[in-house]
Amino acid sequence: MKLLTLNFLTCAIKTCKTSPASFPLHPRDAELEIIESEINLPFLRNILPRLMWEEIRVIASELGLPSLPTTPPTREDLVEGASQAQATEQAEGEAVAEVEEVPSQTAKDLHRILLETGIKEGKLVCGNCAHEYKVMEGVANFLLPGHLV
């Protein structure tokens, strides 16, 4: 399960809906995996305002990943400056008519942590009710027994 997903998941139990502690779910005994994928710059740009940056940092530190900057990146940070892009093109001597957007290091890092890093095995624990959701082979089990619905 991608870390991007973890930034949107909340506890499924009805009584937790009103509590702010039900988000984010905290990973426990997590086994991480990396699945390489192609960087999708328009998607990153689309999703950026919806991310809860503080929670990403909390989860990254809980998983023992390298710490992230305190301020969330902006949309402008995702692409290399236009002048730089042109400069590299000229340096390479390519006659490209339209300026391709080059993802910056920030975008690459963001892609790495959100879309390539995932939890393979482990548990997700709600901060409010301490309900544990098992994750097996990257699939989280959100089925609830009838009395908790």
Partner 1 sequence: MSRPEDILPPDLFYNDLESRKYTTSSRIQKIQSSMTHRALSLLSLTSPSLILDIGCGSGLSGEILSQTPDQGTPGGPHIWMGFDISSSMLGVALEKEVEGDLFLADAGQGVPFRAGTFDAAISISAIQWLCNAETSEESPVGRLSRFFGGLYASLRRGGRAVCQFYPKNDEQKKMVSQAAVKAGFGAGLLEDDPGTKNAKTYLVLTVGGGEVDGDITGVVRGMDGVDVMDGRRKGQQRKRGEEVKGSRGWILKKKEQMEKKGRVVKATSKYTGRKRRIQF
Tell me: does residue 106 bind partner 1 (CB under 8 A): no
Tell me: does residue 15 bind partner 1 (CB under 8 A): no
Tell me: does residue 37 bind partner 1 (CB under 8 A): yes
Q: How far is the CB of 5 from partner 1 (least distance, A)?
A: 5
Strand 26-34 and strand 132-136: the pairing is unpaired
Tell me: does residue 23 bind partner 1 (CB under 8 A): yes
Going 54 to 29 to 67 to 78, the CA torsion angle's sign is negative
Q: How far is the CB of 48 from partner 1 (least distance, A)?
A: 11
Cβ nearer to partner 1, comparing 66 with 146: 146
Q: How far is the CB of 77 from partner 1 (least distance, A)?
A: 18
36 HSE (CA, 13 A, CB side): 0
Q: How far is the CB of 145 from partner 1 (least distance, A)?
A: 10
Judge if the upstream peptide bond of residue 24 is cis by omega within 30 degrees of 0: yes
Q: Are 106 and 81 in contact (CB under 8 A)?
A: no
Q: Is 132 helix (H, G, I), strand (E, B) or coil?
A: strand
Q: Give dist(CA 14, CA 19) in Å, integer.
A: 10
Tell me: does residue 29 bind partner 1 (CB under 8 A): no
Tell me: does residue 58 bind partner 1 (CB under 8 A): no
Q: How far is the CB of 93 from partner 1 (least distance, A)?
A: 28
The torsion angles phi and psi of 4, rounded to 5 degrees, stand at -60, -45
27, 34, 40, 111: which one binds partner 1 (CB under 8 A): 40
